[in-house]
């Protein structure tokens, strides 16, 4: 989770690209201002009117000039999410200039107005959580944590724009970076994207109080995605700090900055309070923050060394250490991770936090804790709690996984999500073992992606595409070594020529060899059962709903995630969908419900949609 825990990247090199390493600022200077203005006018007109073919013969621009100008427009104005980052082009008879450029769209042009409405609504929803009194630093921190929490890295490598980041919550690094641009600019904060072909990656630069800083949400997000977690290693960093980092060290940084020279030479935030926090920052109304900081894994020698400190940073800048949690998370082979995965959430003036197998609550100023919930034996067999979130209605969703990293090179992992409904009002917390939760519903959500495909290279006269991505590296934990083996990702199939690409690290943690614990725990991979959790501490109920209506499928989604068409999106919808996918004959979903359930656009409801509905419920 921290930078000391290695996050490895596998790279895809561009097969053929004329302008792969040309800085945008230099390329733009090679074209006269008049010619560039004409080019932009033609392209903007096509984008606005849905044209597919643009004539460029009169401009006599080379492919390199066209590509650089086109992507500077696309990556600067990041809300052109419906424009594909691939385009086709035709050369003049001499082959020296581009005669025509063919625009490709991510949606049918008839769909674009509705998609723009969805996008605008999502942006408005995100920004509604920001207070006018906040400083630009606080606003950027909020956006960083929101995107890291709401988005998960798209292992299919198909989603790569701001729309997929803020609407569907599944994207690659390009989507994270472009969404940050859109959101910052809505707040009046200057923000641009930057890329590296050498690193196959895109991230951001933002301006705070006249100074530029680098920002990388992608590498601060966890992979596999862990609810409630975000590291802060790459928040408002200087060029020197990023260049020294193994994930950003490259000599071909390109800035899509409208020709502005960007220099990040300030270290003002190098030792900011958020450095080292592996937990999303919880903002309180009084201007304070609650978060957890794990012990540095490099200092861990024994299992007893693994701990996390829950902190509250007060408005005056002082930091109160409220509680130290000493506990360990085990790998599937029985060894102990040298990192504490404690995360915090605040609800009803209580701080909720979790250990590997339990959830607790304590007052905002610390003090006595209260046990809220402990995993059942069936849940413990599925793994440990690696994260949790609480929505505005008090629905707590906790995430159980067998391990902290992807298990093999096909990236298969069964993630199990349980929910607890917290009470609206809570009495002062005292030392006790009774629970504050009243009901719980649990659902197994398998996360499975396909194996890595191969690469196909096309001639240079067909298509240019700067956003082909790499698949995150997966590693197998080796308790007896301090070196992580790298599994190199094969190049994915593409019918376009990659230039600037995107990479996402796998959150990979080395188990420590000094706290080995034998274990016989097995990981359940059954995805057809919807278990009901029952413990002595918690009264549990299993909710089953059957809806039978006609199969008249409407043309549009009425409410995303509303599977049973009761006007609400809640756990009942997740349970019904899971039963339907498991082919339970009593779980009936009508046509409208199927359309509402198909959040990933696959054409039919599946378990990936169930996971996305849980995110809607948790307001991720």
User: Average pLDDT for residues 300-326, to the nearest whole number?
Assistant: 94
Query: How would residue 544 be classed by pLDDT, with cut points 50, 70 and 90?
Result: very low
Question: 130: which 2 tokens?
Answer: 């920001």
pLDDT score of 150 more than 60: yes
Question: 147: which 2 tokens?
Answer: 């995107």
| Cβ-based neighbours of 592, under 8 Å, separated by 6 or more | 549, 552, 553, 554, 558, 565
Q: Give the pLDDT confidence score for residue 235 in this predicted structure.
A: 96
pLDDT score of 333 more than 50: yes
Q: Return the higher-pLDDT residue of 179 and 476.
A: 179
Query: How would residue 590 be classed by pLDDT, with cut points 50, 70 and 90?
Result: confident
Query: How would residue 453 be classed by pLDDT, with cut points 50, 70 and 90?
Result: very low
Residue 204: other Cβ atoms inside 10 A: 24
Name, of 262-271, 424-433, 518-527, 576-585, the range with top average pLDDT: 262-271
pLDDT score of 596 more than 90: no
pLDDT score of 266 more than 60: yes
Assess contact for 63 and 466: CB atoms under 8 A: no
**Structural domains in the chain plus CATH codes:** 1-229+237-271+457-511 (no CATH), 276-340+342-403+413-448+516-541 (no CATH), 543-620 (1.10.1330.10)
Strand 152-153, strand 98-105: pairing: unpaired
CA 536 – CA 374 distance, rounded (Å): 10
Q: Which of 283-292, 312-321, 457-466 has the lowest mean pLDDT?
A: 457-466
The pTM of this model reads: 0.67
pLDDT score of 447 more than 90: no
Query: How would residue 101 be classed by pLDDT, with cut points 50, 70 and 90?
Result: very high
User: Average pLDDT for residues 93-113, to the nearest whole number?
Assistant: 90
The CA-atom distances, in angstroms, between 174 and each of 66, 178, 513 are 20, 6, 37
| Cβ-based neighbours of 416, under 8 Å, separated by 6 or more | 379, 382, 383, 399, 400, 401, 442, 443, 444, 445
Q: Give the pLDDT confidence score for residue 372 in this predicted structure.
A: 96
Q: Return the higher-pLDDT residue of 619 and 334.
A: 334
User: Average pLDDT for residues 15-41, to the nearest whole number?
Assistant: 56
Q: Give the pLDDT confidence score for residue 386 in this predicted structure.
A: 95
User: Average pLDDT for residues 214-221, to the nearest whole number?
Assistant: 95
Q: Tens of pLDDT along 397-439?
A: 999 999 888 766 556 678 899 999 998 754 544 433 333 444 4
Q: What is the mean pLDDT of the chain?
A: 76
pLDDT score of 460 more than 60: no
Q: Give the pLDDT confidence score for residue 365 in this predicted structure.
A: 92
Query: How would residue 102 be classed by pLDDT, with cut points 50, 70 and 90?
Result: very high
Report cis status (omega within 30 of 0) of the bond before 183.
Answer: no
Percent of all residues in the chain with a pLDDT value above 70, rounded to a whole number: 72
User: Average pLDDT for residues 252-277, to the nearest whole number?
Assistant: 92
CA 259 – CA 27 distance, rounded (Å): 10
Q: Which of 80-84, 361-365, 543-547 has the lowest mean pLDDT?
A: 543-547
pLDDT score of 539 more than 50: no
Q: Give the pLDDT confidence score for residue 556 in this predicted structure.
A: 63
Residue 88, SS3?
Answer: strand
Residue 167, SS3?
Answer: helix
Q: Tens of pLDDT along 339-365?
A: 999 999 999 999 999 999 999 999 999
Query: How would residue 13 be classed by pLDDT, with cut points 50, 70 and 90?
Result: very low
b/e per residue, 349-361, with b = 16+ CB within 10 A? Answer: ebbbbbbbbbbbb
CA 596 – CA 147 distance, rounded (Å): 24
Q: Give the pLDDT confidence score for residue 410 in this predicted structure.
A: 59
Q: How many CA atoms lie within 13 A of 585 on its CB side?
A: 0
pLDDT score of 8 more than 70: no
User: Average pLDDT for residues 263-271, to the nearest whole number?
Assistant: 95
pLDDT score of 451 more than 80: no
Q: Give the pLDDT confidence score for residue 567 in this predicted structure.
A: 83
pLDDT score of 72 more than 60: yes
Residue 251: other Cβ atoms inside 10 A: 8
pLDDT score of 203 more than 50: yes
CA 320 – CA 314 distance, rounded (Å): 8
CA 230 – CA 234 distance, rounded (Å): 11
Helix (H) or strand (E) holding 202: strand 201-208
CA 86 – CA 359 distance, rounded (Å): 47
Question: 13: which 2 tokens?
Answer: 């090199």
pLDDT score of 606 more than 50: yes
Residue 551: Cβ-neighbour burial (10 angstroms; 0-12, 13-18, 19+) = exposed
pLDDT score of 1 more than 80: no
Q: Return the higher-pLDDT residue of 158 and 357.
A: 357
pLDDT score of 270 more than 90: yes
User: Average pLDDT for residues 129-158, to the nearest whole number?
Assistant: 92
DSSP string, 368-415: --EEEEE--HHHHTT-EEEEEEE-TT-EEEEEEES-SS--STT--EEE
Q: Give the pLDDT confidence score for residue 504 in this predicted structure.
A: 52
Q: Give the pLDDT confidence score for residue 154 in this predicted structure.
A: 87
């Amino acid at each position: 989770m921290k930078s000391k825990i290695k996050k490895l990247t596998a790279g895809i090199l561009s097969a053929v690209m004329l302008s792969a390493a040309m800085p945008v600022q230099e390329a733009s200077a090679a074209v006269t201002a008049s010619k560039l203005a004409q080019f932009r006018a033609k392209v903007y007109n096509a984008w606005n009117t849905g044209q597919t073919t643009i004539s460029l013969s009169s401009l006599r621009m080379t492919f390199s000039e066209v590509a650089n100008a086109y992507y500077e427009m696309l990556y600067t104005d990041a809300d052109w999410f419906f424009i594909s980052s691939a385009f086709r082009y035709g050369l003049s008879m001499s082959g020296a200039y581009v005669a025509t450029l063919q625009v490709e769209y991510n949606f049918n042009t008839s769909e674009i107005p509705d998609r723009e409405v969805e996008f605008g609504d999502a942006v408005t929803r995100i920004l509604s959580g920001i207070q006018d009194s906040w400083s630009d630093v606080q606003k950027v921190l909020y956006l960083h944590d929101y995107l890291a929490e709401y988005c998960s890295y798209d292992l299919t490598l198909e989603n790569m724009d701001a729309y997929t980041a803020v609407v569907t919550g599944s994207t690659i690094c390009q989507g994270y970076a472009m969404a940050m641009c859109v959101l910052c600019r809505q707040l009046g904060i200057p923000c641009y994207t930057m890329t590296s072909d050498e690193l196959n990656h895109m991230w951001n630069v933002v301006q705070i109080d006249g100074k530029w800083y680098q920002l990388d949400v992608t590498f601060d997000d966890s992979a596999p995605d862990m609810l409630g977690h975000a590291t802060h290693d790459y928040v408002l960093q200087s060029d020197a700090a990023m260049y020294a980092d193994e994930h950003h060290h490259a000599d071909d940084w390109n800035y899509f900055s409208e020709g502005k020279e960007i220099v990040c030479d300030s270290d003002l935030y190098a030792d900011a309070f958020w450095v080292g926090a592996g937990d999303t920052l919880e903002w309180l109304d009084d201007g304070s923050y609650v978060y957890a900081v794990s012990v540095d894994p490099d200092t861990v020698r024994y299992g007893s060394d693994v701990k996390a400190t829950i902190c509250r940073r007060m408005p005056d800048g002082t930091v109160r250490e409220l509680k130290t949690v000493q506990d360990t998370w085990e790998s599937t082979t029985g060894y102990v991770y040298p990192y504490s995965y404690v995360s915090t959430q605040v609800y009803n003036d209580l701080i909720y936090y979790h250990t590997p197998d339990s959830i607790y609550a304590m007052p905002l100023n610390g003090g006595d804790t209260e046990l809220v919930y402990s995993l059942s034996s069936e849940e413990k067999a599925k793994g440990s709690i690696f994260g949790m979130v609480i929505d505005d209605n008090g629905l707590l969703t906790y995430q159980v996984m067998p391990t902290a990293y992807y298990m093999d090179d096909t990236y298969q992992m069964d993630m199990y999500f349980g929910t607890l409904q917290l009470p609206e009002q809570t009495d002062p917390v005292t030392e006790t073992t009774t629970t504050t939760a009243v009901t719980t519903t649990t659902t197994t959500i398998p996360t499975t992606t396909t194996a890595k495909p191969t690469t196909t290279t096309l001639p240079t006269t067909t298509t240019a595409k700067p956003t082909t991505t790499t698949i995150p590296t997966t590693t197998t934990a080796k308790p007896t070594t301090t070196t992580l083996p790298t599994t190199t990702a094969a190049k994915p199939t593409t019918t376009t020529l990659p230039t600037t690409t995107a990479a996402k690290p796998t959150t990979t943690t080395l188990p420590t060899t000094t706290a080995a614990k034998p274990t016989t725990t097995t990981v359940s991979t059954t995805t057809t059962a919807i278990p009901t959790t029952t413990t002595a501490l918690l009264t549990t109920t299993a909710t089953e709903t059957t809806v039978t209506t006609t199969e008249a499928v409407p043309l549009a989604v009425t409410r995303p995630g509303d599977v049973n068409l009761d006007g609400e999106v809640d756990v009942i919808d997740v349970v019904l969908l899971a039963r339907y996918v498991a082919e339970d004959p009593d779980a009936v979903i009508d046509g409208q419900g199927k359309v509402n359930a198909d959040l990933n656009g696959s054409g039919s409801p599946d378990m990936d949609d169930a996971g996305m509905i849980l995110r809607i419920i948790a307001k991720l």
